[in-house]
Structure 1
């Protein structure tokens, strides 16, 4: 149920900055009219809901134990509750389509897409999907093109996780046997398959050129993942792949900025103070002006924490820092109806305790998706 309320007493993050001003919502939108009912939120902050451009923390709910992957709809519903508890009103679930198999394999990806279609009408958070496609899978290019239309996939990202250096030397990747057994595949057969994918990489650039040309006529945004060099980013840009996710170096991030490609960095990288893989520090890239959005990556709470860390550390003003987790990702995803608390925008908002910064409530399109404690009492009182 979408609420009609006038929220008073709180500091509201408006397009002009934080202000002690009422915020009215009605029919799922921010409005400049005055609903009859008021809720006093003194002592709280009202901020735009978080827009996550890339998150895979939902995976743990789909397979809490090895092999327990039968009821994906229930896992997605629980994941949605976690998203809402972290202030996320728009979530992009990053699902692999990979030679790695198991939860990253094509069959599992199809099941996730079908389950998402089933549960979306039953939840309040706007659940979107990003398909992460391994470019070495030449025989699957037609399937990807079909799925984008069949499942209305709005965002496709190109990955390449093959251990090319090891395979070129004829070596077996570390942990190969264990990984093969976990996905129920014979290790020798699995090694043969990834060696064949590696051997076929010469055909990938032309195949990508053709695929991206065909996709240019479809309503799908294209991104590259883990760019390492300016040359890599330039090649993607020439194909119309205009979002740069998690560039591994400042060189790649600068190349993206030079062509106007939005740069997505990981919020956990900010919170940790650096990359867990030894790549470029998100803090350094942000200081260089090379970030348009912070994504949850593998940890939903990091989005909120990263925004406050950036503001508290003096790296940027709070409004700009919060923009990296709200209006910035909304913009690069083409979602013009959210990201700011302006009349006519979706009533996507998060209510925080001003002292503790704990999330007290989340509303998505004016619908309560999470609420607790004193704020809940004020709403129902």
Structure 2
């Protein structure tokens, strides 16, 4: 269905040149240069480009609200999309693990998540992009991965290494071993044995990653690294052709990525909290140093909007630059040049905020309503 033509008047609009009070025209799902159709009075509201979320795993509780409750995963995707839209997100990268952790982070669960996304995404308004987070030491799964990605229609892979290497190298039990084993459906002894075996794969991992990355590049898969700690980490990934670094743990890693022409993604919750919950580099500090291309929701969908507005209120960035970190910046990282700003010809992806309290009043993706609540709805229905 072709979205109706609309003209928004009376609102303050964030355009590429800054915030102005002007008309914004929507036609056939795109921003139009001339106005037709129904005129909507949005005085008292602020209209900004829709949020492009580069990495979020906050959907897990919708997919499996309790352990074992995973029978209607497609309904979980629908519920997740409603939450995304309610937070102004119009394009969402849904990050799912393939990890030794098992359970909700095992390959079987990943298959169910990606099947559910395929099943319903064409009937939803928010643009959903599946992403796989793959643990680097799972050498036995390397041969399976490329064909699984094709089968699951996953265009984006991030490489993680969450093994507690220091503890394993010292022969000590990792923290929370029993809890992890329970979630994975293993005994603590079997879980520790698996971790030790994967840790022992270490010397073989670099060469295996070289070959795997080359094959995934050949298939057109977008690749990123995760939790880079040092310039050496970044150089190794860059040698494999990776240009995206998610959540670098240090300023050194962020600087090395940017110096090599790569993209740095930071977590919005880090900004909102005023620091990393793990004690890593402060996102605010990295933004101040110019080492950030985009902010992602990570585990909390309200955070991109809140983080951008906090950065603007603090004076660290003006609103245009702050909001670009959740709109045009991430769109550029993903190679999506049809969205991220309110310019003629771009997709009509936008979020309408109450100008006083900055709560989300409505969200449009491709000119279609994905969320609307409260007083603003009366203006559209008048």
TM-score by length of structure 1 reads 0.98
State the 1:240 CA deviation: 0.5
Question: Which residue does 1:128 correspond to in 2?
Answer: 129
Q: CA RMSD in A?
A: 1.0
Tell me, yes or no, if structure 1 residue 105 matches structure 2 residue 71.
no
Other structure's SS at 1:13 match: strand
Tell me, yes or no, if structure 1 residue 10 matches structure 2 residue 11.
yes
Question: Which residue does 1:118 correspond to in 2?
Answer: 119
1:131 and 1:247 mapped to 2: Cα distance? Answer: 18
Contact 2:29 2:347 (C-alpha < 8 Å) held by counterparts: yes
Other structure's SS at 2:331 match: helix
Unaligned runs of 5+ in 2: none
Per-residue CA distance 1:291-328 (angstroms, 9 max, x = gap): 00000011111111111111111101110000000000
Per-residue CA distance 1:75-125 (angstroms, 9 max, x = gap): 111111000000000001110010100000000001100010001022110
1:41 and 1:181 mapped to 2: Cα distance? Answer: 52
Other structure's SS at 1:142 match: coil
State the 1:186 CA deviation: 2.2
Contact 2:4 2:37 (C-alpha < 8 Å) held by counterparts: no
Unaligned runs of 5+ in 1: none
Other structure's SS at 2:154 match: coil
Other structure's SS at 1:182 match: helix
1:133 and 1:350 mapped to 2: Cα distance? Answer: 32
Tell me, yes or no, if structure 1 residue 44 matches structure 2 residue 45.
yes
Question: Which residue does 1:337 correspond to in 2?
Answer: 338
Other structure's SS at 2:173 match: coil
2:257 and 2:26 mapped to 1: Cα distance? Answer: 38
State the 1:183 CA deviation: 2.3
1:178 and 1:356 mapped to 2: Cα distance? Answer: 41
State the 1:137 CA deviation: 0.5
State the 1:7 CA deviation: 0.8
1:85 and 1:314 mapped to 2: Cα distance? Answer: 26
Tell me, yes or no, if structure 1 residue 233 matches structure 2 residue 234.
yes
Contact 2:308 2:323 (C-alpha < 8 Å) held by counterparts: yes
Question: Which residue does 1:354 correspond to in 2?
Answer: 355
Contact 2:16 2:342 (C-alpha < 8 Å) held by counterparts: yes
Tell me, yes or no, if structure 1 residue 290 matches structure 2 residue 286.
no
Contact 2:111 2:152 (C-alpha < 8 Å) held by counterparts: no
Per-residue CA distance 1:210-229 (angstroms, 9 max, x = gap): 11111222222110000000
Per-residue CA distance 1:332-375 (angstroms, 9 max, x = gap): 01111100001111110000111111110000001101001121
Question: Which residue does 2:221 correspond to in 1?
Answer: 220
Question: Which residue does 1:85 correspond to in 2?
Answer: 86
State the 1:266 CA deviation: 0.3
Question: Which residue does 1:31 correspond to in 2?
Answer: 32
Runs of 4+ in 1 over 6 A off after TM superposition: none
Question: Which residue does 1:321 correspond to in 2?
Answer: 322
Q: How does 1:37-76 map to 2 (within 5 A)?
A: 37-76=38-77
State the 1:64 CA deviation: 1.4
Question: Which residue does 1:309 correspond to in 2?
Answer: 310
1:277 and 1:3 mapped to 2: Cα distance? Answer: 47
State the 1:234 CA deviation: 0.5
Other structure's SS at 2:347 match: coil
Other structure's SS at 1:170 match: coil
Count of aligned positions: 381
Question: Which residue does 2:248 correspond to in 1?
Answer: 247
